[in-house]
Amino acid sequence: MNRVSTFAAAAVIIVVAGVVILGQGLASGPVSALASPSQEGTIGTPSTAPTARPTSAPIAPMPDVVLGDWHADDVAIPGITGPQLARLSLNWDGGKDGWIQLDGDGTYRQVLNFRSLKAADGQLHLSADGLGCSAGQEGTYDWRRSPDGPFLTLKVVDDPCAPRAAAFARTWVHSLSAVTDGGLGVLPDDPWLEIAMPKQRFGASGFGTEASWLHPMSDADPVRYLMLMADPMGFDRPCDRSRQPIAVNHTTKAFEQYLKTVSGLSVKGAAGSIDGIAGRSIDVAVDKGLDCAAGDIGLFHSQVATETDADWTMAAGEAIYLWATVTDGHLRVFGFGGDGVTPDDGHAVLGSQRFLQSLPKP
């Protein structure tokens, strides 16, 4: 599968690192900053990975069902901060540690590292560094994940460290960025996009840089991809190695018309509405017999980049299902496709989108 060519190269690097470090049975060793869930300074940008202090306490993995990234937007920690956005990361690399980061101005700063000390049904037993917790102070929390997956509620059973309890004890919202088990969750997209993805473990990256590659954690799993792009450009010669970006008017009609002028594509569009916002559903299939001098056909190019790493390309026989809409004067295009994705699958994923001004509540 080659739909992103070298699109969003930094995002692809993060996913590759995630496969090397986070994929089950793929490798062992220290977790790198690029491999860990949510090791971003700003959204979509890698930062320094946490370093836990050595401990003699036994470490036991947390259950898979709680692992991944979780968001909360009402976090106030006594002596640290007023209410702001927080991200809880429960590390897919063995489930033995995690961290909390706070975001006051678009840049996350890490305030807490913790280790999982014991595994028990329905509880997390943690030892944490930071937030003024004394050495050896352990916290125990009940956890419950909602049946449909998007909420993780942590409640204090026993924790002598009040700031840590204030940080942990709340309902967190499932993030679909970094490594995830799919399902219903949110993505950081001006400010939030809620969407239901396939129930599959995959490594996602690039949100905030306009593209995501959903790389499977198992060779047996299908490869799928989700695309978000603002004000895309087209190509003058989509199948040539020397193709150059060209402007496309920022309307759904102009975008669909551009795709219909590209030789080798089958394009079907229809008017519709998602979450009360009008737009166009556009199915794009590449002819099975298409032979491009460039190898893959170029569909569009990011408006915010000038290098070839912003090319979105597809191979002969591939298909992608798009939703195009105009908000705040910008043409926004969402796409879903990949191995085994049918038109019904593509429309279901795109149709599940909700555009939120704040995080959802249970």
Rounded CA separation 345/48 (Å): 37
- Spell out the residues 6+ positions from residue 5 whose beta carbon is closer than 8 angstroms to its own: 296, 298, 308, 311, 312, 313
CATH 2.40.128 fits 44-174, yes or no: yes
For residue 251, what pLDDT is reported? 96
b/e 234-249 (16+ beta carbons within 10 angstroms → b): bbebbbeeebebeebe
Listed residue (311, 210, 318, 324) closest to 256, CA to CA: 324
Residue 195 near residue 187 (C-beta atoms within 8 A): yes
Rounded CA separation 182/204 (Å): 10
3-state SS string for 10-24: HHHHHHHHHHHHHCC
Q: What are phi and psi of 67, to 5 degrees?
A: -75, 155
For residue 303, what pLDDT is reported? 76
Listed residue (118, 110, 154, 166) closest to 138, CA to CA: 118
For residue 130, what pLDDT is reported? 75
Rounded CA separation 180/182 (Å): 5
Rounded CA separation 248/254 (Å): 7
Joined together, the tokens standing for residue 192 give 């939030």
Would you say the CATH fold of 182-356 matches that of 44-174?
Answer: no
Question: Per-residue pLDDT for the chain (362 aa), expressed as one digit of tens each?
Answer: 344 443 333 333 222 222 222 222 222 222 222 222 333 322 233 333 444 444 455 678 899 999 999 999 888 887 776 678 889 999 988 899 999 988 866 667 888 888 898 767 789 998 877 777 877 788 999 999 998 899 999 999 999 988 889 889 999 999 988 888 889 999 877 678 899 998 888 887 655 445 566 777 778 888 888 888 889 999 999 999 999 999 999 999 999 999 999 999 999 999 999 999 999 999 999 999 999 999 999 998 887 665 555 788 999 999 999 999 998 889 999 999 998 999 999 999 999 999 998 999 98
Query: Span 182-356: which CATH code?
Result: 3.40.1000.10
Domain residue extents for the chain: 44-174, 182-356
Q: What are phi and psi of 259, to 5 degrees?
A: -60, -35
